């Protein structure tokens, strides 16, 4: 009777041909057409996985090779970088597990391994598949979150420009939906830049805001106090009645604010 090490050697030496056979079997189960480039990539991926399985079978520790962890992370990051969907990975997983299990079991049975060895190999295979998909998902979500965070930062930069309109005067137009994150960006990223621009009077225009809640509005109104402490005159324009009502109900005193209906009126008042 052959040993597990014999099976491990067979898997390692025949990883490429086995990968091609497994990919072909998996494709037969899909009810959709897979692009040729994806098929080539799948063969490479499964070849590497089979190699990792061969390593795991002869390991004395019940853990997966470190290379498999890094490999799985790269798979998830690659999918995220291509702006793919995690469902494209998960959706193919059941068929992949089934075909892999059937193929590996045929191999180990052909080598005449004992029932105990068959169970051992299947445990290793399923452990590797589970850890691999878990690491892939974690890496996908981590990189996707980073990409979204970076893009949100870029959006925040573009959605809160300081527009100089004359010497010492600039407008800060607030556009779209303003949430807590954008309000924090205004306070921590935009406000510190204003003194550098030698702005003596800043017009904060609310007319372009689509949605904003009272708490976030209160946070933005705190910018007024910060700028005043920096010696910058602040004028607010375009505050709709519903926003004013929300802010008043939150306990903010409007009597200290200089407000106008629109930017044009504010500019005229400065002259």
Q: Which residues contact 244 (CB under 8 A, 6 or more apart)?
A: 254
Would you state the CATH architecture of domain 3-156?
A: Orthogonal Bundle (1.10)
Q: Locate 199 and state its tokens.
A: 């702005």
- Taking the chain (271 residues) in consecutive chunks of 10 residues, what is each chunk's mean pLDDT? 82 93 85 79 86 84 72 76 72 82 89 88 87 85 80 58 85 81 80 85 86 74 83 89 78 78 89 68
Backbone angles phi, psi at 174, to 5 degrees: -95, 120
Domain boundaries defined on the chain: 3-156, 163-269
Task: Look at strands 163-166 and 169-177 and give their pairing.
Answer: antiparallel
At 1 the pLDDT is 44
At 14 the pLDDT is 94
At 21 the pLDDT is 92
Q: Locate 31 and state its tokens.
A: 């009810």
Is this structure's pTM higher than 0.95? no
User: Secondary structure of 156-217 in the HEC alphabet?
Assistant: HHHHCCCEEEECCEEEEEEEEECCHHHHHHHHHHHHHHCHHHCCCEEEEEEEEEEECCHHHH
What's 163-269's CATH class?
alpha beta
Backbone angles phi, psi at 267, to 5 degrees: -65, -40
Give the C-alpha separation, 100 to 23, whole Å: 10
Angle between helices 4-13 and 93-110 (to 10 degrees): 120
């Amino acid at each position: 009777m052959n040993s597990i090490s014999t099976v491990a050697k067979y898997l390692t030496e025949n990883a490429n041909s086995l990968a091609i056979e497994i990919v072909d079997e998996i494709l037969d189960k899909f009810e959709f057409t897979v692009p040729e480039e994806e098929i080539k990539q799948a063969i490479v991926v499964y070849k590497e996985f089979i190699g990792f399985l061969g390593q795991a079978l002869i390991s004395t520790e019940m853990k997966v090779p470190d290379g498999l962890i890094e490999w799985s992370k790269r798979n998830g990051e690659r999918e995220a970088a291509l702006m793919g969907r995690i469902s494209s990975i998960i959706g193919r997983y059941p068929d992949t597990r089934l075909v892999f299990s059937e193929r590996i079991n045929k191999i180990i049975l052909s080598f005449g391994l004992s029932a105990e060895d068959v169970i051992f190999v299947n445990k290793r295979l399923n452990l590797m598949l589970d850890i691999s998909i878990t690491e892939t998902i974690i890496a996908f979500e981590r990189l996707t979150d980073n990409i979204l965070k970076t893009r949100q930062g870029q959006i925040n930069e573009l959605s809160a420009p300081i527009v100089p309109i004359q010497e010492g005067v600039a407008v800060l137009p607030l556009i779209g939906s303003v949430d807590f994150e954008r309000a924090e960006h205004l306070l921590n990223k935009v406000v510190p830049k204003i003194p550098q621009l030698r702005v003596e009077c800043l017009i904060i225009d609310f007319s372009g805001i689509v949605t904003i809640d009272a708490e976030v509005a209160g946070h933005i109104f705190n910018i007024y106090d910060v700028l005043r402490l920096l010696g910058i005159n602040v004028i607010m324009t375009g505050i709709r009645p519903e926003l004013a009502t929300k802010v008043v109900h939150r306990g903010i005193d409007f009597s200290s604010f200089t407000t106008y209906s629109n930017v044009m009126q504010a500019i005229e008042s400065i002259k």
